[in-house]
Structure formats: C-alpha cells, structure tokens
Amino acid sequence: MRTGLSVPAACLAALALPLAAVPASARTADPPPPDRIVIDVNTVNGSGCRAGTTAVAAASDNTAFTVTYSDYLAQAGGASNPTEFRKNCQINLNVHVPQGFTYAIAGADYRGFAHLEDGASGMEKANYYHQGMAQTTPVSHTIRGGYSDNWQFSETATRIAQNPRSATYALI
C-alpha cells in the first residue's frame, strides 16, 4: 500500500499594500503600488525542495505572489523509503517594495494532490516567520483516507506583520 501527499503548485500569498498609518477597515480599499514588487529567493532548504525545484513569481497587479514547488512529494508504504513519509521546505524570500509602501501577508492558499488509502492520513503544515519577530505562526490541515483527489486549503491572516522600513525584508 502506497500513499502520497503532493504539493506541486503549492502556495499563493496575497499582499496587502500599503499599510502605513491606515486604519484596518480601510486597508483593502487602497490601490497597490505603481512600481513593481520584486521577490527574490534567498535560500531554499529541506527534504521537499531540492535545488532548482522552487520558484517565486509576483502577480502583475502587485497584490500577490506564488511559490511553486515542482517536486514536493511525501509517501509511505509499498516500496517507498522510510524517510519519505515526511517532507519539509524552508524558503527565505527577500521582498523589495516600492518607496513609501509596506506589506503584510493577508492570506495564503495551499494546493496539491493526495492519494490516501483507508486508515491513512496526511497533513499539510506551514509555519510563518517574519524577520524581527520572535515566534512562528503555525497552521496545519489534515486529510483523511480514503481520499484520492486534488486538495486546497486557504488561510487568512490572524496577525499582520509589517515592514515599516519600506525596503528589503526577509520572509521565512
């Protein structure tokens, strides 16, 4: 019996811009900055994202970015290696925002495919860490077998992390 949990086109995060000195109720009504947001991948590390299998792209309207993992697969049972049951990936991004703007993660979508036999389960788990913050924000979702289909989970921000410096900021 082989079960697997795949994250081939995984994460879409929405950006909320600008945020400086704007009441929470008015934040979503503000237009995105006219200059391009540039997101660079500093490092990628983990058993689920070997070199060359992770990409980041900013949306043309400056309101979101997508992180794609092209070879993220966890599996158990059958002829799979015992270490294949759990995968992880830590990605460190530099987010360059236009002068006078700041950003926050407003939400994230996770997508993948799971094939789980009866009695098996899989878990998608994310930890958010923003440079300068002392703790991570963990989120997890469980898929129970028998299941064989695409899956999607969406998260909204419970805590806004801002960059008051309006420059380069690491998002891990």
What predicted TM-score, i.e. pTM, was given to this entire model? 0.70
In this predicted model, which residue has the larger pLDDT, 115 or 20? 115
**Is 70 exceeded by the pLDDT of residue 89?**
yes
- For residues 133 and 141, give the distance between their C-alpha atoms in angstroms, rounded to a whole number: 24
- The terminus-to-terminus CA distance of the chain in angstroms comes to 35
**Is 60 exceeded by the pLDDT of residue 29?**
no
Least confident range from 47-61, 72-86, 112-126, 154-168: namely 154-168
- For residues 42 and 33, give the distance between their C-alpha atoms in angstroms, rounded to a whole number: 23
pLDDT for the residue numbered 114: 93
pLDDT digits over 53-70, tens only? Answer: 888 888 888 778 888 888
pLDDT tier at 44 (50, 70, 90 boundaries)? confident
Q: Percentage of the chain with pLDDT > 70?
A: 70
Q: What DSSP character marks residue 102?
A: -
Write out 4-57 in H/E/C secondary structure: EEECCCCEEEEECCCCCCCCHHHHHHCCCCCCCCEEEEEEEECCCCCCCCEEEE
Mean pLDDT value of segment 72-83: 89
pLDDT for the residue numbered 115: 93
- For residues 10 and 53, give the distance between their C-alpha atoms in angstroms, rounded to a whole number: 12
